[in-house]
A = this chain, B = another copy of it.
Amino acid sequence: MIDILDRVRNKELRSRIVTAEEAAAYIKPNMTVATSGFTPSGYPKAVPTALAKRMEKEPFKINLFTGASTGAEEDGELARVKGIHKRMPYQTNKEMRNQINSGEIDYIDMHLSESAQFVRYGYMGGGIDVAIVEACAITEDGNIIPTTSMGNTASYVQQADVVIVEVNVTQPLELEGIHDVYVPLDPPHRLPIPITKPHDRIGTPYIPCSLDKIKYIVPCDVKDHTRPLGEIDDNARRMSANIIELLNAEIKAGRMPENLLPLQSGVGNVANAVIHGFVESDLKDLSVYTEVIQDGMFDLIDAGKLNFASGTSLSPSPEGLERFYKNIKEYRKHIMLRPQEISNSPEVARRLGVIAMNTAIECDIYGNVNSTHIMGSKMMNGIGGSGDFARNAYLTIFCTASTAKGGAISSIVPFCSHIDHTEHDVDIIVTEQGLADVRGMAPRERAKTIIEKCAHPDFKPMLLDYFERADAMTKHAHTPTLLPEALSWHQRFLETGTMKK
């Protein structure tokens, strides 16, 4: 209790310290609750857990808005008790995914950079009833020092009627100063976001909040429930090698500076493998302008190769988090956490010229990408920030292993069963088979290149056969498509368990 008192620096506020159960009691059925958290980092833990317990006895639903996915104590608990009606803008929880795909949860899958402004513009219904925010500390003036993620928290605090702060004593106070909080004005008053380098500081190290707005303060001593990192497998290693070869060629051709341009990489093993590849490469003076900062970035910092990483969330593995905490004084010199509206800003991504590396579920022969749906209907996770970066990057790369489900599914298909990124937004497609550079290519040339370079040998003849028949049947139309067959590979998988004939 001493620790939490120290962290609530305004004495008056200390009288609002309550238990998680007391705070959770404030939340009424059908309220819209917006929380901190982006990946299982910096999300509230005590109040959502208490709320879920209450919902077990007294079932009701709320709308839940966050930065992105959150941890077991929030998305997991609230899904377990079927406590969610509307959810935005991203999630990765298994039980929640099931409820999204059984129609129990209305899920709004949005570009992450747009979610805060969507709320501020008044597009998400009746505003925000309560914001629940994990904090390191609360300042004398009521301002909130966030923890391991920024997400949409600053906008949610601004827009909420009432704020509940979870002061998490497991989060080191050295996090203070790592955040750069900037909420743009809305049109017609918005100004340029004055970032021209990844390390530019443009805001405050805290979330502005008035003393009045803070309804309750809840102590919490539960650590971020971060996810272990998968093994880097051979496929990931090969994709990583393909990407590093490309980037070296771009430098050689004079299309990229010697220290590249700011890197953005999605979550996951391929991203991690690529970053590991950089550690072993000759590249140096690198910078990162991304969404999530993962273990590999710590390796790059340790290797003296990464000057600065700007993101909205620390998303390390459990070991990575320990490592970060242990060496936080050094790492914080190289890391900044911004609101996701800024970390994923189309304006900034295009200005800085990021190299965007994201993962596809499947990619079609013309370069359209599906990032979200399994066999057209079922939501996997969501688009996340991939669209923010892919559309605006200097170079847009999508990676996917050429097959899935032990070879039964080809990730290169005649026609994507859902499209999140159109042909207009994709420069490079990478599989473990190779790399298709489709910049400046018309669709028919793209199809030949993608099939040749990226498809698995098991599916290459089928894809070529499809393309050649489509080309002949449509008399070489711009984008030859055989409508009755375009989605037949997916249907065959649903019926027979394999896309193979």
Question: Which A residues are within 8 Å of any B CB, using their own CB?
Answer: 86, 88, 100-103, 106-111, 118, 121-125, 186-188, 190-194, 196-197, 253-255, 257, 261-262, 346-347, 350-353, 368, 373, 375-379, 383, 387, 391-392, 394, 417-425, 427, 439-442, 444-445, 470-471, 474-481, 483-484, 486-488, 490-491, 494
Contacts and interface: CB of A to CB of B under 8 A. Distances in A.
A439 B123 contact: yes
B254 A377 contact: no
A376 B483 contact: yes
Copies in the complex: 2
A442 B379 CA distance: 11
Given A421-B422, A484-B487, 9 more contacts: A101-B476, A123-B255, A124-B440, A187-B353, A190-B196, A376-B479, A377-B478, A379-B477, A486-B487
Given A347-B347, A347-B351, A373-B478, A442 B108 contact: yes
Given A122-B255, A391-B391, A424-B110, A417 B347 contact: no
7 contacts: A106-B445, A109-B423, A346-B350, A376-B481, A376-B483, A418-B479, A418-B481
Given A347-B346, A422-B419, A352 B479 contact: no
B391 A106 contact: no
Nearest to A348: B347
B481 A442 contact: no
A186 B353 contact: yes
A128 B110 CA distance: 39
A387 B100 CA distance: 29
A418 B419 CA distance: 9
Contacts of A193: 192
Contacts of A111: 391, 424-425
